[in-house]
Chain A
Amino acid sequence: MNAFPMGSSIMIFVRHWQRRTLGALSLQATILAAAFATVGPANAVDSGAASQADLQAKIGYCQDCHGSSAQGYRGYLPIPRLAGQQPGYLENQLRAFIEHRRTNNIMFNVAHTLSPAMISGLAAHFRGLHPEPLGGAPRELVAAGENIFQNGVPDANIAACAACHGPQATGTGQIPRLAGQLYPYVIKELVNWGKERGQNPTIPDTSAIMSPVAHSLTKSQIEAVAAYVSYLK
Chain B
Amino acid sequence: MEARQLKSSAHGATTRIAQLGFALLLSFGIGVAHAQDTHAASVTAKDVQAKLAYCEVCHGVSAQGFRGYYPIPRLAGQQPQYLENQLQAFVERRRTNNIMFNVGHVLSPAMITALVTDFHELNPKPLGGAPRDLVPAGKKIFDEGIPASNVPACSACHGPDAKGNGPFPRLAGQLNDYMIDKLVNWTKERGQNPASPDTSAVMAPIAHSLTKPQIEAVAAYLSYLE
Chain A residues with CB under 8 Å of chain B are 1, 5-6, 8-10, 12-13, 16-17, 19-21, 150-152, 154-155, 157-160, 162-167, 170-173, 175, 209, 212-213
Further 19 A-B residue pairs, CB within 8 A, beyond A20-B61, A21-B11 = A1-B67, A9-B66, A9-B67, A10-B67, A12-B60, A12-B127, A13-B66, A19-B62, A20-B8, A20-B11, A151-B99, A154-B102, A154-B105, A157-B53, A160-B99, A163-B69, A164-B68, A164-B69, A212-B54
Q: A16-B61, A157-B51 are in contact. Are A5 and B67 (CB under 8 A)?
A: yes
| Shortest beta-carbon distance from B80 to chain A in Å | 21
Asked if B159 lies at the interface with its beta carbon under 8 angstroms from chain A, I say no
| Residue pair B124, A16 in contact (C-beta under 8 Å) | yes
- Pick 30 A–B contacts, CB within 8 A, sort by A: A1-B177, A8-B129, A9-B65, A9-B66, A10-B67, A12-B60, A16-B61, A16-B124, A19-B62, A150-B98, A151-B99, A151-B102, A152-B103, A155-B106, A157-B50, A157-B51, A157-B53, A157-B54, A158-B54, A159-B57, A163-B68, A163-B70, A163-B72, A163-B99, A165-B69, A167-B69, A171-B69, A172-B68, A209-B57, A212-B57
Q: How far is the CB of A209 from chain B (nearest CB, A)?
A: 7
CB distance from A194 to the nearest CB of B (A): 15
Chain B residue at minimal CB-CB distance from A4: B129
A166 and B69 in contact, given A20-B11, A157-B53 (Cβ under 8 angstroms): yes
B216: shortest Cβ distance to chain A, in Å? 14
Given that A8-B128, A16-B60, A152-B103 are contacting pairs, would A162 and B69 also be in contact in the complex, using a CB cutoff of 8 Å? Answer: yes
Partner of B69, one of A20, A21, A175, A213: A175
Using Cβ atoms and an 8 Å threshold, which residues of chain A touch B146?
A: none
Give the CA-CA distance A10 to B129 in the complex, in Å: 11
With A151-B98, A152-B103, A175-B69 as known contacts, state yes or no: A5 contacts B129, CB within 8 Å: yes
Give Cα A166 to B11, complex, Å: 30
Task: Indicate if B58 sits at the interface (CB-CB under 8 A).
Answer: yes
Give Cα A20–Cα B5 distance, bound, in whole angstroms: 11
| A164 and B58 alpha carbons, distance in the complex (Å) | 7
B24-75 residues with Cβ-Cβ distance < 8 A to A are: 50-51, 53-54, 57-58, 60-62, 64-72
Closest 5 CB pairs of A and B: A164-B68, A157-B54, A166-B69, A5-B129, A16-B61
The answer to whether B68 and A175 have CB atoms under 8 Å apart is yes
Which residues of chain B have C-beta atoms less than 8 A from A20's C-beta? 8, 11, 61-62
CB distance from B137 to the nearest CB of A (A): 20
